[in-house]
Amino acid sequence: MTVEQNVLQQHSQKHQQTLLNQLREVTGTTDIQLLQQALQVSNGDVAEAVAFLTEKNSKVPQQDETTYYQTSQVASDRYISVGSQADTNVIDLTGDDKDDLQRAIALSLEESSRAFRETGITDEEQAISRVLEASIAENKASLKRTHTEVWSDSPNPHDRKRIDNCPVGLKNVGNTCWFSAVIQSLFNLLEFQRLVLNYSPPARVLDLPRNQKEHRNLPFMQELRNLFSLMVGSKRKYVDPSRAVEILKDAFKSSESQQQDVSEFTHKLLDWLEDAFQMKAEEDSVGEKPKNPMVELFYGRFLAVGVLEGKKFENTEMFGQYPLQVNGFKDLHECLEAAMVEGEIESLHSAENSARSGQEHWFTELPPVLTFELSRFEFNQALGRPEKIHNKLEFPSMLYMDRYMDRNREITRIKREEIRRLKEHLTVLQQRLERYLSYGSGPKRFPLADVLQYAMEFASSKPVCTSPVEDIDTSAPPGGTTGQQLPPPSSSTGEPDSVPPQESSGPASAPTAASTAAPQQRVPVHKPFTQSRLPPDLPMHPAPRHITEEELRVLEGCLHRWRSEVENDTRDLQGSITRIHRTIELMYSDRSMMQVPYRLHAVLVHEGQANAGHYWAYIYDPHQRCWMKYNDISVTKSSWEELVRDSFGGYRNASAYCLMYINDKKPFLIEEEFDKETGQILSGMDKLPPDLKQYVKEDNEQFDKEIEEWDFMQARKAQQEKLALAAAAASTAPSSTSTSSSSPQPMSIESSPPDNAVTQQDPEYLEQPSPTGDFKHLQEDTERAISRAAAEQEDRSPEVLLNAAIKLEYARLLRFAQEDTPPEMDYRLHHVIVYFILNEAPKKILERTLLTQFADRNLAFDERCKSIMQVARAKLDLIKPEEVNMDEYEMWHQDYRNFRETTVLMVTGLELFQKSNYVEALMYLIYSYQYNRELLLKGLYRGHDEELLGYYRRECLLKLNEQAAAMFESGEEPEVSTGLGIMNELVVPCIPLLLAHEAEKDLLAVEDMRNRWCSYLGQEMESNLQEKLTDFLPKLLDCSTEIKSFHDSPKLPSYSTLELCERFGRIMAALGRVPSEGR
């Protein structure tokens, strides 16, 4: 075949594929053979093909087998929908307005065909263009975002610096998580990486590309090389792929916006790469058949073996990504088995000349990289929109493809027949077992062995009366409060256990006569945990009234024998079923059927609905022997367990969308490259050719410069702040010295430093205390302890009184720490010592803290207090540095300051929540939860109830989500913008916080919020609302748990200790109790 003929044939095949794509989109059918039949009947006229399919659907005839199995028509279609199911997804277009609908379809198809003829751009390419336009627009818009938004880069370049040799992430530049997932999967195929990095364009097109493909593909290849080189040698934690995306965008012309499908993008990407490498291969192989490395890496062949009305046929076809149906199958092998067999295939290998028709697919050549597309979307005809299939589908980490190879055709057929026979036998055994396990003829059924056991228990029970109702006291009040036997009136003593709970509630010393004089006046007390208990003398089961010993003996013998027989039969059935399952599992486990191993390399995951969602990838690192999760800029270590949870499906809305396996017998796919001279492994910049080394070097120098500028600015800022503080201290020193003895001090047990060189500062629990609050409260406690000590001690010397007062104050605070208090009373807020005691602070910390309390200058109002204060200050002077670790001392007081700040945040947030001010409450609740969690990591009593804070944090987000959704539903522009602003600025940035620790209630809350917005998909709404929704949903569905940037902590109000305790008690009393049934 000449080059011109080859080009013409490729053009014809692609035009045919374009027509097939148009028909598939319009009619909803995925059956390739039926679509081809329609095109053949209509001679390529798409409008007539639609009419043919519509009329064919309305009549529901048997499919014409003559054309259904003529697969030779698509022998070169590498994207054929192999193994498609029966025609179940064809849209019914046979309403009363069918003619109008067909005319509209014809006009649409005519417009699409005219656009293709004029521009040479297919609908598939236009779809990619639309998403790329949206991606670039989103990226440009992101440059205008403020720092507080979750999508912006951190201004600190150190946060964006790559750590050691960690893999480099890709920035999501707007609905491009699909791009990141696919590119990372391909980049981590080291053979593919080498091919891209070492690619050089053909010499003849360096100056001026000669056609549209070259004009599009060669610049894209260069940008892909640049992107790969940055992923190899960049000093950045993640890199920006915008330039590669822009090349893709510039290749097409469109203005609409949607999120791109992974499989479509991968198809097109491999197509472009194939074209680019084909140009190079044709230049390098003069006079020889060019070898395209993309084709050799990703494309394989299968043999379609069929029979049509007794006539056999065989066709060889090429494939790239192999499509598999998910619905109705439980694992990957079941999907493959269904895809490899179509129709009834008995006649393929039977001696009879049967009229049955069918076909099998057998792989003749598998590619080194075997990619499966998992079709998780189907068209819901009732709703008129696509829906995602969330069914669970398991797949192995090692896949043996021997059973699907053409060379094993005969042995596989034998094994399939054996499996079919075993499954038939298995069905019979399972039906028999079901009759034993679900016995009975009514709606409720029980295991037969249990039924016989219950019958035996009934027969063996002893009756206590002749009637089930004769021993019930009909005069008892309702509710069962006096249904038990009462003690006789003459008895004034008895065991407590014999007294009913209702009667024992009175005083133990009350006279018996008084309690029985007027029993009708007693009011029954409802006690739900006691009144429903049965007296111990009543039988637990009903019993036969009349049964002789002989009858019981015979009946028990029969029931026992029957039960043993049933148990033996059940055990035998279960054993047989287990053995058959095991036999089926091991059917292909012999060595001859384990010669084609494929190891799982990458899993592309989609979370969301059919119209929108988020993509990420799990990729196996053979060198670290672990799975890595590539989620846009975030690259983290993962595990097989996490992959299974997110990829198998059936858990939330996440499931695998594409599986990439590599031939385990071809290690060059993932092996590092060695230096030919030294024999050392090439890594980092050594992998790159000279031009890319220079490119990465320049980018790294630019990043280093950015870090240097940041460090310089931070150092200058710190120096300016230091100078400003020094100037402020110099200007305020005289005034602070003159007023230190009269100004009120904060509530602190070390209110002012001693006169000596001990330089510790006051704990900053409250920086702006009330003059009548903390100071007066603490001073009164201290003076009260001194007064009590003076009253109890005969020796009135200051040192003795100080020691006694400290002991009394410590004993008082210890009682507070040991007291069992309601939620609204927290003594930790009253005094730091209570907090220290509960958290087992060292004794030296407690002693110094108490001593500092009594060294307060404000105690010097009488001679006794003044002398005690002076002794306390002298004792502080005598404490040596080695006796008390001042760093540890300061750490404990800092923890207490953090506890009080967390309390202020919590109280403020809960108060705002109670007032339904959810917007302002959110940040207080978010930060109080985060700070409280950090405190609880050090001990149980370091913070507040995590469940309480988690509940209100979760509820606040749900309330805001409801408010925003209601605003969006209004359709009014100001309301819609406000609602989406709430989601983008408040709710969406907080979702990673709920996902970070994978608490079940938090995950359910996130799922509810996402489902609320996803429910709008497919609903009729104005185009501007649809555009806003399409732009917003990927942000909401982003599964990343990385907090990229966040709002600043809210400013803390100033509360004195008494005010804080009062507000804390009031809000906790209003809440009532910790919600246990809430989300």
Residue 316: strand pairing partners:
303
Residue 617, H or E segment: strand 613-621
Q: What is the C-alpha separation between 743 and 746, in angstroms, rounded?
A: 10
Q: Residue 267 in contact with residue 79, Cβ under 8 Å?
A: yes
Which pairs count as long-range contacts for 146-153, CB under 8 Å and 24+ apart, including other chains?
Answer: 147/1045, 148/985, 148/1045, 148/1046, 148/1047, 148/1048, 149/984, 149/985, 149/989, 149/1045, 150/988, 150/989, 150/1035, 150/1043, 150/1044, 150/1045, 150/1046, 151/1035, 151/1044, 152/1044, 152/1045
Give the full edge-to-edge strand order of the sheet including 358-365.
311-319, 300-308, 358-365, 341-343
Q: Output DSSP code: residue 601.
A: E
3-state per-residue secondary structure call for 13-43: HHHHHHHHHHHHHHHCCCCHHHHHHHHHHCC
Q: What is the C-alpha separation between 506 and 753, in angstroms, rounded?
A: 60
- Beta strands in 943-1018, from DSSP E residues, in sequence order: none
Q: Find where tokens 């998992």 sit.
A: 374
Got the DSSP string for 463-508?
A: PSSSSSSTTS-TTSPTTSTT-SPPPPTT-----GGGS-TTGGGS-T
Residue in 267, 361, 614, 944 annotated catalytic: 614
Residue 324: strand pairing partners:
374
| Kind of pairing between the strands at 385-388 and 377-380 | antiparallel
**Structure token digits, residue 730:** 């110099």
Residue 300: strand pairing partners:
319
For residue 487, CA distances in Å to 273, 481, 499, 531, 985 come to: 95, 15, 7, 17, 70
Amino acid at 349: H
CA angle 1059/1064/1065 to nearest 5° reads 100
Say if residue 999 is exposed, middle or buried (CB neighbours under 10 Å; 0-12, 13-18, 19+).
middle
Q: Find where tokens 């008494």 sit.
A: 1058
Is 606 a residue of the active site?
yes
Residue 1058 φ/ψ, nearest 5 degrees: -65, -40
Under 8 Å CB-to-CB from 847, ≥6 apart: which residues? Answer: none
Under 8 Å CB-to-CB from 650, ≥6 apart: which residues? Answer: 390, 391, 392
Under 8 Å CB-to-CB from 919, ≥6 apart: which residues? Answer: 960, 982, 986
Phi-psi region of 650 (alpha: psi -120 to 50; beta: other; left: phi over 0): left
Angle 886-914/946-970 helices, nearest 10 degrees?
40
Residue in 601, 606, 777, 830 annotated catalytic: 606
Q: Residue 638 in contact with residue 628, Cβ under 8 Å?
A: yes
Q: Which is it for the CA torsion 959, 965, 967, 969, positive or negative?
A: negative
CA angle 1059/1062/1066 to nearest 5° reads 140
10 Å Cβ neighbour count for 847?
A: 16
10 Å Cβ neighbour count for 1064?
A: 22
CA 512 to chain centre: 66
Is 177 a residue of the active site?
yes
| Kind of pairing between the strands at 238-239 and 385-388 | unpaired
**Structure token digits, residue 869:** 């204060």
Q: Which residues are catalytic?
A: 177, 606, 614
